[in-house]
Amino acid sequence: MVSTLYSLYFSCSYSHPLSLQSRRLSVPLSFKTPTVPLSFKNTHRFIKSAISDQYHEKDERNEISGTLGEKENQGTMPKHVAIILDGNRRWAKKNGFTISEGHEAGCRKAWEMTMDFFSVGINTVSLFAFSTENWRRPEDEVNYLMDILEIFFKIGIHHAPRQKIKVSVIGNRENIPMSLRDVILEVEEATKSYEGKHLIMALDYSGRFDILQACKSLAEKAKTGLIQVEDIDEKLMEKELMTKCSEFPNPDLLIRTSGEQRISNFFLWQSAYTELYFPTVQWPEFGKAEYLEALTWYQQRQRRFGRRI
């Protein structure tokens, strides 16, 4: 079943998810009959194809980067963009696809948009890939999401080092499959030394849990005498949060697609002064025009941080 994700990822490139309706991919989207055997040889071929696609899109990204550069006088670019990837299932239902096909389209879009954000100089991109609350979904859907995430990180092992992208995963890893944990550790180890481009994947992540585990860690350190209670401040707290892996732990811009206007237990501490942007498009529909609009909107904001301007 999971081999079909390779088919979606590494068949012909498309600029807009709705093009799935207008023209067929080179490999059929089928979940009953895998069209490509899940082998190292095929995996290597598909990854090589994906890297080639990235190079073909380089000129287009440079053009968009120049467009944004012309508008930099209106405001600064965000250093950290966080995204809640919402609307895969609704997009699939609206366009006559299965839920699995919706998640596949969303997964491909996640990689494409991450590359686009890096191309305009953004340092950190955080993706809310799977929340703790998502375990409540049907078991077959959860299992498929775990399969998709495992393949996403297997792709990352090959592709991220070529692009010098540091990959980090935050969240509770106790409940995810062992095979997924292993590939996460592998990609994190392979990319830990890179700087300038940082992809953070939030997997089984809860903002409340993040704050709770940080408080417990500080309480334990105070109990054992490593710190004094009087020493606890925001800086110490932030050193215990899961985003301590980032040079820029607090997002400047948080995007949630599909029109829902809430952050759903994502980065509760970190988003205290984050600009919140809620486009109405579903995540698989979020393309270059939408991300350009989001960045332009951010540049026009006046970030006061409590000060009078």
The catalytic site residues sit at 86
Q: Which of 51, 6, 53, 56 is nearest to 27 (CA)?
A: 6
Sheet arrangement for strand 253-256: 166-170, 198-205, 124-131, 80-84, 253-256, 275-277
Encoded tokens for 12: 């012909």
Euclidean distance between CA atoms 171 and 242, whole angstroms: 7
Q: Which of 214, 246, 209, 196 is nearest to 82 (CA)?
A: 246
The distance of Cα 201 from the centroid of its chain, to the nearest Å, equals 5
Radius of gyration of the chain, Cα coordinates, nearest whole angstrom: 20
Euclidean distance between CA atoms 187 and 155, whole angstroms: 9
> CA torsion, points 279, 109, 205, 277, in degrees to nearest 10?
-20
With a CB cutoff of 8 Å and minimum separation 6, the contacts of 298 are 75, 77, 78, 252, 253, 275, 277
Helices (H) and strands (E) in the chain, counts: 11, 6
- b/e burial code for range 18-57 (CB count within 10 A of at least 16 → b): eebeeeeeebebeeeeeebeeeeeebeebbeebeeebeeb
Euclidean distance between CA atoms 198 and 285, whole angstroms: 24
